[in-house]
């Protein structure tokens, strides 16, 4: 009988090119309360879905197997979304056993699925090797706007929002993932297995995944090598086969990473999380701004649009009384004037540890009108899955447990003080936190050089 190779077999650390070794199965720890505490962990058996081109062929050759097995395995992984070795179609049981001993067929374990918005939003909490939790959110957009011909003007879409890191070092104060702190980078297979998981769920009802957005947990440009590998796999017609235009990667503004992407040419649509057009406020809302100020971020985005010919979108979370005034709208319009850009306004999802609320709908509409009046395209994004803990990272944060009340109160006080000073136009002069400084030093330089660790 073939071993099942469920993600529960996970163990040890991965590299897509490392020679696979067999190690005893180890159950993931269930008692770690916080994502960040559950580090490090992974497996020394690489995930099948993250293998570099040719790696499977090399392994088959080394184990005396015919090369045509590679196609069979790939078809099972990508066309049939196999989760266990037993689901590798057409393989003799002995080879299924060998594959399971050398690789993991699935690298993520489904921990919890929460459905909201009357079935339109499905949020999944995945458990990784070592116990870290990450989230993905599947959003269904039915076809709409039927024309005279009876054909929809907008085709049905199924968009998956995925995570690139467990936790995040950037620490934006309105974000549930930022509250968790940094855990670890996801492996390439752990990123693309979120996509295979959603594709499996969709195929059960005869539907296909149409779009993937890197807007879940983590800062993709601080794990850029793995994100690029994942995008290449998702775009490869022999693997997942999703068009590059159907992938969006969002960043909080890692300028060296944006510059590297520009040099590579168009791989996907780039989204920048702006949230404020003025430095004092952006220093507070997106702490990375203290390293790469807003003008540098927008200049990098402008060059990216010019070189790739692809419009850059700017995300702007609307926080009542903080970044939603007419002055902010005018500053935003001035900042993006003349650029190949589009703004998405997102009313803030309530997050436990912030003192802030979403801007009311009429304020969002007035802000949008003011920015549009200056010739910039604006979309107001509907919030999805509020009843399911919509802000990405919220399920994982809830699982980690509420911080003690005095900690929350203190944090809120600090945020209020900092944002009040920012609204008076004062920059605090504070640098990056120690953990963010470390993350930036270790990864941003790597992002600019394009090298693996």
- Which residues form the catalytic set? 135, 392
313 binds ligand SAH per the rule CB under 6 A: no
Cβ-based neighbour number of residue 44 at 10 Å = 17
- Tell the smallest beta-carbon distance from residue 281 to ligand SAH (Å): 14
Output the smallest distance, CB 222 to ligand SF4, in A: 9
Question: Least distance from C-beta 98 to ligand SAH, angstroms?
Answer: 38
Contact between 191 and ligand SF4 by CB under 6 A: the answer reads no
Min CB(359)–ligand SF4 separation in Å: 17
Binding characters for ligand SF4, 218-257, by CB under 6 A (x = yes): xx--------------------------------x-----
Residue 444 as a binder of ligand SAH (CB under 6 A): the answer is no
59-69 in b/e form (b: 16+ CB < 10 A) is bbeeeebeeeb
Least separation, in Å, of the C-beta of 397 and ligand SF4?
A: 11
Our CB check for ligand SAH shows the closer of 96 and 354 to be 354
Cross-strand bridge partners of residue 167: 182
> 3: exposed, middle or buried (C-beta count within 10 Å: 0-12, 13-18, 19+)?
middle
Q: Is 9 in the site for ligand SF4 (CB under 6 A)?
A: no
Choices 35-43, 47-55, 248-256, 302-310; region in contact with ligand SAH by CB under 6 A: 248-256
**Shortest gap between Cβ of 183 and ligand SF4 (angstroms)?**
12
Using the minimum distance from each CB to ligand SF4, give the nearer residue, 15 or 320: 320
Residue span binding ligand SF4 (CB under 6 A) among the ranges 133-141, 151-159, 172-180, 437-445: 172-180
Of these, 229, 315, 324, 328, which contacts ligand SAH (CB under 6 A)? 315
- Residues 87, 435: Cα–Cα separation, whole Å: 42
Least distance between ligand SAH and beta carbon 315 (Å) = 4
Q: Which of 177, 349, 359, 419 binds ligand SF4 (CB under 6 A)?
A: 177
User: Does 178 contact ligand SF4 by CB under 6 A?
Assistant: yes
Phi, psi dihedral angles at 285 (to 5 degrees): -75, -35
Per-residue contact flags (x/-) with ligand SF4 for residues 387 to 416, judged by CB under 6 A: ------------------------------
Inter-residue contact 293 to 299 (CB < 8 Å): no
Which residues ranging from 271 to 290 are in contact with ligand SAH (CB under 6 A)? 273
Shortest distance (Å) from residue 450 CB to ligand SAH: 20
**Contact present, 217 and 191 (Cβ < 8 Å):** no
Q: How far apart are CA 210 and CA 70, in angstroms?
A: 26
For residue 171, the partner it binds in ligand SAH, ligand SF4, none, with Cβ less than 5 to 8 A by kind, is: ligand SF4
Task: Using CB under 6 A, count the residues that bind ligand SAH.
Answer: 16
Among ligand SAH, ligand SF4, none, residue 351 binds (CB under 5-8 Å by kind): ligand SAH
Q: Structure tokens of 352?
A: 């436990």
Which part of the chain contacts ligand SAH (CB under 6 A), choosing from 119-127, 343-351, 359-367, 403-411?
343-351
Total number of residues that touch ligand SF4 (CB under 6 A) = 11
Q: Is the dihedral of CA 72, 73, 75, 76 positive or negative?
A: positive
Interacting residue with ligand SF4 among 73, 82, 166, 175 (CB under 6 A):
175
Rg (CA), the chain: 22
Interface with ligand SF4 includes 323 (CB under 6 A)? no
Q: Which residues bind ligand SAH (CB under 6 A)?
A: 168, 174-175, 215, 219, 250-252, 273, 315, 317, 346, 348-349, 351, 391
Q: Which residues bind ligand SF4 (CB under 6 A)?
A: 168, 170-172, 175, 177-178, 218-219, 252, 273
């Amino acid at each position: 009988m073939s071993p099942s190779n469920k993600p529960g077999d996970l163990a040890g650390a991965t590299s897509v090119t490392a020679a696979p070794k067999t190690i005893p199965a180890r159950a993931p720890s269930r008692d770690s309360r916080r994502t960040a505490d559950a580090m490090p962990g992974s497996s020394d058996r690489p995930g099948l879905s993250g293998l570099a081109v040719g790696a499977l062929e090399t392994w088959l050759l080394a184990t005396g197997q015919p090369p045509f097995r590679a196609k069979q395995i790939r078809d099972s992984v990508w066309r049939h979304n196999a989760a266990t070795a037993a689901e590798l179609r057409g393989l003799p049981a002995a080879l299924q056993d060998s594959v399971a001993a050398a690789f993991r067929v699935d690298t993520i374990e489904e921990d919890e699925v929460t459905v909201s918005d009357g079935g339109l939003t499905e949020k999944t909490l995945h458990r990784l090797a070592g116990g870290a939790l990450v989230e993905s959110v599947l959003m269904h957009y039915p076809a709409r706007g039927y024309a005279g011909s009876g054909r929809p003007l907008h085709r049905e879409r199924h968009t998956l929002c995925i995570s690139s890191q467990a936790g995040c070092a950037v620490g934006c104060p309105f974000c549930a993932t930022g509250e968790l702190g940094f855990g670890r980078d996801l492996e390439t297979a752990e990123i693309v297995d979120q996509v295979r998981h959603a594709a499996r769920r969709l195929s059960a009802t005869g539907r296909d995944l149409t779009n993937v957005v890197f807007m879940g947990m983590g800062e993709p440009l601080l794990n850029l090598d793995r994100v690029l590998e994942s995008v290449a796999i998702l775009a490869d017609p022999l693997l997942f086969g999703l068009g590059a235009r159907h992938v969006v990667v969002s960043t909080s503004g890692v300028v060296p990473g944006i510059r590297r992407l520009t040099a590579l040419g168009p791989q996907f649509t780039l989204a920048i999380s702006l949230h404020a057009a003025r430095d004092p406020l952006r220093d507070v809302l997106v702490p990375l701004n203290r390293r790469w100020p807003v003008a540098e971020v927008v200049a990098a985005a402008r060059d990216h649009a010019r070189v790739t010919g692809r419009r850059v979108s700017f995300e702007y979370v609307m926080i009542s009384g903080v970044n939603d005034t007419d002055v902010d709208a005018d500053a935003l319009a001035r900042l993006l004037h003349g650029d190949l850009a589009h703004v998405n306004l997102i009313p803030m999802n309530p997050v436990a540890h912030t003192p802030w609320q979403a801007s009311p709908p009429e304020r969002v509409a007035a802000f949008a009108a003011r920015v549009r009046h200056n010739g910039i395209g604006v979309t107001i994004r509907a919030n999805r899955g509020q009843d399911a803990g919509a802000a990405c990272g919220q399920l994982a944060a809830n699982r980690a447990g509420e911080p003690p009340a005095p900690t929350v109160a203190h944090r809120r006080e600090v945020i209020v003080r900092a944002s009040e000073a920012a609204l008076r136009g004062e920059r605090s002069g504070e640098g990056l936190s120690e953990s963010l400084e470390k993350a930036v030093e270790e990864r941003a330089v790597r992002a600019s050089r394009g090298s693996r660790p």
